[in-house]
Amino acid sequence: MATIFDYSNRDVSVTLIRKVRNMGDEIAPIFWRVTYNRKRKYLKTGFSFSIDEWDDFLNRKLLKHKDKKDTLRNYFDNVLRKAVDKLVESGNFSLEALSMELDKGDTKSVNDAFKAKIKEMGGKYAIGGTEVYKGTYKALLAFVNYKKLKNRDAKDKYIQNYRERKRITAGDNVFKIDEVKISWPEITVQFLNDWETFLLESGSSISTVAIRMRTFRTLTNNMNGTPYLSGAQYPFGRGRYVIQEDAPRETFIKLSDVWRMEDYVPKNEAVKFSIDMFTFQFYGSGLNFKDLCLLRYENIENGEVRFTREKAVRRGRRIEHTKIPLLPPMMDIINRWGNKDMGGYIFPFLNGIEPKKKNESDIKQKVSELLRTININLKTVARELNLPSDLSTNFARHSYMTHMISEEYLNEIIIKQMVGHSTRDVTSKYNTLTPDKRREINSRLLNPAKDYSNVMSSIV
């Protein structure tokens, strides 16, 4: 039976129904029924009617039903239909996504907002982002517990204990943080300034504080929804709370230092492997290490690796394929460490794990473990070759970009295309690089004293 609340958008339909649970029930509850791909979700309204009352409610304009109809209409117009339309138009509709969107809309506290966001990101298998939000929420709760203390001695002791134990995640010495309800009106400029002071006093770096504050600002803005704070209540921005940014560290080395690393012959095979991974990233247009692990032989075509950066896919922005020329040092590294079976990943690090969202946690764990070992070994190389003591795989990407901008004077749009950054500039479409041009650009990195003529393999 059609009702005054029937609605549809593409493959999603919404209607108001009376749902009889048990045969013979005189009174039955009223639900919103959402149907998608033949699956249904029922949302409680809080109302119940007999069969006769339900017929009157649908077909007669009785004054006694006005308040109920107004309540249902307001919820439908302001909450349910908006949530359906938003998810359908973005191409992200599912009954699970609708549940998360409606939960977010009902958020009444900062705690609820964090929990809804963490649940949402977990549903998208965004493991890294989920951990950032969890860490920020934990740091916020630690501060609110600290604020409740009355005297200075107790506060000093709390900060000292938190500083020493905040990174402990298991065992009897884990720092216990109570769940304290935080309302949005509590979030003021003074609150954020005090939280920043607490974080710095408890050992967080300026960079870490900036991450916490940017994460909280994003949560507050509630992108694609109604901001939790706005207008005069919004605490961020000029004249309010301004997020501090640490001066950028120099995380790059000179091209000649990359060549020295390439020529270095360590006694330890694991160190050689770590150097090779760094070198592959550098010659591979500053390739991100996770993207390196995800490369597959099927990505190789006409002497290039063609793939989509994992970060671009995860953020859902306009997909731009990254194309990297396979230079001789890269082929040498593939021949040395790559899978012999060319039916899957180029490197064996993720063998047995399909590159699917549901496996994101396993992928992240494997990549993190490997990255930790590589970066430890790179510190050994740094000591031997007198390179920056904090040498890590991050230096590969930054060194590539720094060299291309500062030494080769390449156009910024071209650099973005080479490393796979988004190129939103209107003129970027006129700077399309050919495979030959990409190879010419990256070949400038090769050591002229080396002979690479015998390196290239049949897989190119």
The residues, any chain, with a CB within 8 Å of residue 25's CB and separated by 6 or more, are none
- Partners of residue 35 on adjacent β-strands: 13, 40
pTM above 0.85, yes or no: no
CATH no. of 255-443: 1.10.443
Token pair 């990407």 is at which residue? Answer: 397
Residue 159 tokens, joined: 């900060």
- pLDDT for the residue numbered 248: 64
Among candidate residues 236, 234, 227, the one with its CA nearest the CA of residue 185: 234
- Partners of residue 44 on adjacent β-strands: 31
Q: Where are the domains of the chain?
A: 7-94, 107-233, 255-443
Residue 50 tokens, joined: 């007999």
Mean pLDDT in order along the chain per 10 residues (460 residues):
73 88 79 89 85 84 81 82 87 82 69 91 79 95 93 93 90 91 90 95 92 95 79 88 80 92 93 97 92 94 83 53 90 95 95 88 91 95 94 92 77 67 45 71 84 62
What is the rounded CA–CA span in Å between residue 331 and residue 304? 11
- pLDDT for the residue numbered 120: 86
What is the rounded CA–CA span in Å between residue 442 and residue 439? 5
Three-state secondary structure readout of the chain = CCCCCCEEECCEEEEEEECCCCCCCCEEEEEEEEEECCEEEEEEEEEEEEHHHHHHHHHCCCHHHHHHHHHHHHHHHHHHHHHHHHHHHCCCCCHHHHHHHHHHHCCCCHHHHHHHHHHHHHHCCCHHHHHHHHHHHHHHHHHHHHHCCCCHHHHHHHHHHHHHHCCCCCCCCCCCCCCCCCCHHHCCHHHHHHHHHHHHHCCCCHHHHHHHHHHHHHHHHCCCCCCCCCHHHCCECCCCECCCCCCCCCCCCCHHHHHHHHHCCCCCHHHHHHHHHHHHHHHCCCCCHHHHHHCEHHHEECCEEEEECHHHHHHCCCCCEEEEECCHHHHHHHHHHCCCCCCCECCHHHCCCCCCHHHHHHHHHHHHHHHHHHHHHHHHHHHHHCCCCCCCCHHHHHHHHHHHHHCCCCCHHHHHHHHCCCCCCHHHHHCCCCHHHHHHHHHCCCCCCCCCCCCCCCCC
Residue 212 tokens, joined: 């916490």
- pLDDT for the residue numbered 425: 46
- pLDDT for the residue numbered 217: 96
